[in-house]
A = this chain, B = another copy of it.
Amino acid sequence: MRKIINDPVHGFITIDDELIYSIISHPYYQRLRRIKQMALAYLVYPGAVHTRLHHSLGALHLMQKAIEELRHKGTSISTEESQAARIAILLHDIGHGPFSHALEHTLVDVHHEDLSLLIMQKLNEEYNGQLQLAIDIFTGTYERTFLHQLVSSQLDVDRLDYLARDSFFTGVSEGVVGYERILKMLTVYNGELVVEEKGIHSIEKFLISRRFMYWQVYLHKTVLSSELMLVTILKRAKLLAQNQVALFGTPAMQFFLQHQLSLKDFQHDQNCLQQFLLLDDNDVISCIKVWMTHSDKVLSDLCQRLNNRHLFKVKFLTDETASEILDWKRQVQQSAHLSDEDIPYYFMQDATASNTYNEGDEQINILFKNGDVKTISSVDGTLITAGLLVPVKKHYICYLRN
């Protein structure tokens, strides 16, 4: 069997494995067509409407390339391992809900990685255990570490694809990653994924591109604002639902508005996952549109603003004192004639962090020609040693502009 999919980012993606094609055709996977990779970022970058399905197909393609490269360099990878690594990357994001970041803090308070694992296990049952090795690679329990590292590490094909893809669809050329070159620099050493010495500059460039994308795109003020507004809307809706106020919603939305669920609930009650797998961007957006005329003033007002792109202002904090912020809040409250009860929906404080390179996490390792392996943060003269690529946390306020 052989299916070819057009991808404007990578050219053509070839699927030549029956099991993989069957998983792609599964409703659980097809659901990812209806979830945007970059959530509400399209409110700033109109091209950023690509889906999680598209991203994971792209990551699958890069996994295929990476395996080819590693085999070329003498690392033996069996047909089973190759298939399993590809399934693992294909399904690594299967647990994402719509507007995942916003959702995880409101409607479905479970981490998407946990849900990915649950769904993979469910599929594994359906496929009579054929996904077991993929699951072991995904969870990192399989002995050959580099396979897990290809799926999830500082330099996995997930990141390589999403940076390339997000740059492509936003049109932010600064985020372009030389992923082809990076793939060619990967090799396996003592069972670990490492980068050849001559690839150091490419890695730096990759990390700088990530950093750029964080500040220019992922943490763009307008993106932060719209996502925080969505969080606020969902919180308000949930509160109303708890108070038995009637709310329009698809059955799946109703389910999550009315139940506060933990991972345990998902593990023990099949219906939770079943409902979750029916949820996508369309449910959320449809509700917001209908809620624009809800009798609850806060809910309808916020929904109108988000739907019509009349967004709150975001201001990054530098050295403002708590009392200055309080003053600010009061000013917003007064000029918009907001009650004490409502002001939390119109003046919010939050923090966000870029995660360009997290030393605490697994490291990127460089293999030198003389056989030495060093973490990139211990190589002199790189941008990382300068301490600039560490996560940066930014505090900000988000509020109704007058």
Contacts of A286 in B (CB 8 A): 250, 282-283, 286
Contact of A47 among B50, B387, B392 (CB under 8 A): B50
Contacts of A250 in B (CB 8 A): 248, 286, 289-290
Interface residues of A in 164-184 (CB under 8 A from B): 168-174, 176, 178, 180-181, 184
Interface residues of A in 1-39 (CB under 8 A from B): 2, 4-9, 11-12, 16, 25, 27, 30, 33-34
Q: Is A383 an interface residue (CB 8 A)?
A: yes
A176 to B4, CA, bound (A): 20
Please give the distance in Å from A189's CB to the nearest CB on chain B. 17
- Residue in chain B with minimal CB distance to A170: B6
Interface size on A, residues (CB 8 A): 71
When A169-B8, A184-B12, A201-B215 are in contact, do A289 and B285 touch as well, CB less than 8 Å? no
Interface residues of A in 215-233 (CB under 8 A from B): 215-216
A8 to B171, Cβ gap below 8 A? yes
B45 to A6, Cβ gap below 8 A? yes
Contacts of A33 in B (CB 8 A): 42-43, 46
When A174-B178, A174-B181, A178-B173 are in contact, do A47 and B307 touch as well, CB less than 8 Å? no
A309 to B25, Cβ gap below 8 A? yes
When A46-B33, A386-B387 are in contact, do A201 and B212 touch as well, CB less than 8 Å? yes
Q: Is A251 an interface residue (CB 8 A)?
A: yes
Q: Is A194 an interface residue (CB 8 A)?
A: no
- Residue in chain B with minimal CB distance to A34: B285
Contacts of A281 in B (CB 8 A): 282
- Residue in chain B with minimal CB distance to A4: B184
Q: Which of A16, A180, A282, A308 has the most CB atoms of chain B within a 10 A radius of its CB?
A: A282
